[in-house]
Amino acid sequence: MSYLPLLGILVVVAGFALRLNPMLVVTASALVTGLLAGMGPVEVISAFGKAFNDNRIIAIVWIVLPVIGLLERYGLQQRARAVIGGFRRATAGRLLILYLLYRQITAAIGLHSTAGHPQTVRPLVAPMALAAAEQQHGALTEDEAETVKANAAATDNVGLFFGEDIFFAIGSIVLIQATLSTYGILLAPLELAVWAIPTAIAAFVIHAARLLLLDRRLGRGRT
């Protein structure tokens, strides 16, 4: 067995230590590893192409992120805040509860990428929650604004984490199944997914209560 291909790891370590472009470092490491493993340049490039084709969904990121950036540059956050301004009874807590419900339901049916921190929380959910809080309680302090944004991010995490296990065709379910099987507990993925429903409901109730308490904390001392 030849250990020469492992020199690609040294390329990664050296590249990161020199603070070079991570994409170039990883690409160079892959090239070095392939060549030292006895592959020709054409074979290495072909392997790159096959990996890209097999995982072409990753390319969507390079389309979505610039679009979100352009939308933010031309007033997406401002429009989101203006929309919330039209709902007089909207509060940060109520808005985030609705987002929590949406996140759990979509994650439960396998639509994990329809929302997330870069796609929805930063450009839409957090600005809308801030606008709702300011509408109810007036100008927020810096600490209060950061608390609202943190709760917006946490809501996405809770909704995704406890909702995705209801969708049985996901890696976490397979991991749980494999772990239990080592202890002689044999369960089908569907059985695990069904028992994830009570946990998801409990997570929704608990986090929704925390979000309602957020409204009370923001209103304390302002009435």
User: pLDDT at position 81, please?
Assistant: 72
User: pLDDT at position 73, please?
Assistant: 66
Taking alpha carbons only, the member of 133, 123, 183, 179 closest to residue 156 is: 123
Q: Which residues of the chain have pLDDT under 50?
A: 223
User: pLDDT at position 24, please?
Assistant: 84
User: pLDDT at position 153, please?
Assistant: 95
Q: Report pLDDT digits (tens) over 138-173.
A: 888 999 999 999 999 999 999 999 999 898 777 778
Write the CA distances from 27 to 65, 195, 210, integer angstroms: 22, 43, 45
User: pLDDT at position 52, please?
Assistant: 64
Per-residue buried b or exposed e for 44-56, using 16+ beta carbons within 10 Å of the residue's own CB: beeeeeeeeeeee
Q: Report pLDDT digits (tens) over 46-64.
A: 887 777 666 555 555 555 6
User: pLDDT at position 213, please?
Assistant: 95
Q: Return the C-alpha torsion angle 82, 85, 87, 90, nearest 10.
A: 110
